[in-house]
């Protein structure tokens, strides 16, 4: 192993540095709090390894400006924030953390389901104004309701287990069904259309790809049962947010629990308050996001479904393993580049 190979870690939070340094003995590391961007790319210097998280949009331009980088280690499962084509062309390996938060994200998804079904968002807003009345706060039981899980992978299967523990009937849609799993866990695989028309609660657990862009669009929202709840802890662009807002305002959709929405980075960065998005579409996303955040039947969280102490430890440990393995010539969890 080249023990002095420089590693630069972007989006480094307090407390993470010690764990990564301990897991990378003898490896020179530098930690940068900011995202990797045009403004911070000079921090890469002569580094051969860069580690990022999901808010760093690693574009072709950035990739071409990092002359010595040979590994981009994302501390996430998803990698749609990295231009894989540009990495492939330049012989840069991209590694990810394939599994770390299956139970973590599933638990957060169910916290959103419970909060919506018992109207906790409305309750907390009322109580903050000293209103303890019960009018309009009647909730609904989950027992005997139908839960529709779109994407029965690692996270989706945890959601299914929790749903069954609540006494829910569970339907699942997945591109690669496993009938034995369905039999053991007590759920049924169905088509996406049947899931949408039959479920009281629909939760999304599929990756974002071009073919899943706006998987839940206006037509599919219209297919859902009146009063159904929609949960998204996967990727914002799986849902057409403008159509979602229409479905909520018309009363057709009973509520939405969203950990991710289109254009979420515009809402999350304070500087965007003074920054006009560069396109009409980006402006639409920003305005729709603000409208969703204020809607009575929406609970919006800031892309934090993955954010537990235990999950972060797992992320850091696997990222360090990916870096050590790459530096020793035996890459792990590689998704692009010469070794992918």
pLDDT for residue 339? 36
| 12 DSSP assignment | P
Mean per-residue pLDDT, 214-238: 97
Q: When comparing pLDDT for 241 and 264, which is higher?
A: 241
- The yes-or-no verdict on residue 103 having pLDDT over 90 is yes
Active site residues: 235, 264, 303
pLDDT for residue 78? 84
Q: What is the pTM of this model?
A: 0.83
- Do 201 and 146 meet the contact criterion of CB atoms below 8 Å apart? yes
| Helix 154-165, helix 102-117: angle, nearest 10 | 40
Distance CA 66, CA 130 (A): 55
* Superfamily name and number for 7-100+309-336: NAD(P)-binding Rossmann-like Domain (3.40.50.720)
Other beta carbons within 10 angstroms of residue 271's beta carbon come to 7
pLDDT digits (tens, 9 = 90+) for 188-223: 999 999 999 999 999 999 988 899 999 999 999 999
- The yes-or-no verdict on residue 297 having pLDDT over 90 is yes
Q: How confident is the model at residue 286 (pLDDT cuts 50, 70, 90)?
A: confident
pLDDT for residue 1? 38
Domain 102-300 matching CATH 3.40.50.720: the answer reads yes
Mean per-residue pLDDT, 311-324: 96
Degrees to nearest 5, angle at CA 248 with 247 and 250: 65
* CATH 3.40.50.720, the chain: domain bounds: 7-100+309-336, 102-300
Distance CA 101, CA 92 (A): 26
Q: How confident is the model at residue 243 (pLDDT cuts 50, 70, 90)?
A: very high
Buried b (16+ CB within 10 A) or exposed e, 178-210: eeeebeebebebbebeebbebbbbbbbbbebee
């Amino acid at each position: 192993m080249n023990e002095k190979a420089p590693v630069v870690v972007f989006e480094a939070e307090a407390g993470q540095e010690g764990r990564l340094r301990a897991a990378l003995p003898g490896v020179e590391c530098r930690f940068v709090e900011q995202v990797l961007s045009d403004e911070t790319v000079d921090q890469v210097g002569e580094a051969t390894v860069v580690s990022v998280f999901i808010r760093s949009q690693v574009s072709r331009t950035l990739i071409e400006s990092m002359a010595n980088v040979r590994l981009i280690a994302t501390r996430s499962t998803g990698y749609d924030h990295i231009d894989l084509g540009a990495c492939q062309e330049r012989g840069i390996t991209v590694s990810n953390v394939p599994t770390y938060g299956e139970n973590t994200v599933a638990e957060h998804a169910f916290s959103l389901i419970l909060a919506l079904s018992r109207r906790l968002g409305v309750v907390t807003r009322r109580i903050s104004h000293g209103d303890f009345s019960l009018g309009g706060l009647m909730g609904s039981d989950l027992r005997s309701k139908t839960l529709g899980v779109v994407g029965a992978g690692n996270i989706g299967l945890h959601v299914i287990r929790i749903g069954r523990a609540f006494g829910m009937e569970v339907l699942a849609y997945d591109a690669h069904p496993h009938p034995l799993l369905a039999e053991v866990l007590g759920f049924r695989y169905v088509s996406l259309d049947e899931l949408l028309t039959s479920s009281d609660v629909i939760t999304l657990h599929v990756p974002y790809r071009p073919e899943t862009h706006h998987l839940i669009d206006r037509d599919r929202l219209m297919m859902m049962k009146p009063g159904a709840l929609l949960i998204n802890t996967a990727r914002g662009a799986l849902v057409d947010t403008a159509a979602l807002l229409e479905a909520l305002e018309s009363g057709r959709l009973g509520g939405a629990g969203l950990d991710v929405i289109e254009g979420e980075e515009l809402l999350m960065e304070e500087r965007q308050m003074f920054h006009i998005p560069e396109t009409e579409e980006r402006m639409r996303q920003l305005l729709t996001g603000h409208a969703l955040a204020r809607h009575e039947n929406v609970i919006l969280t800031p892309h934090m479904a993955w954010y537990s102490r235990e999950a972060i430890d797992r992320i850091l440990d696997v990222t360090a393993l990916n870096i050590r393995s790459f530096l020793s010539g035996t890459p792990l969890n590689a998704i692009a580049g010469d070794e992918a």
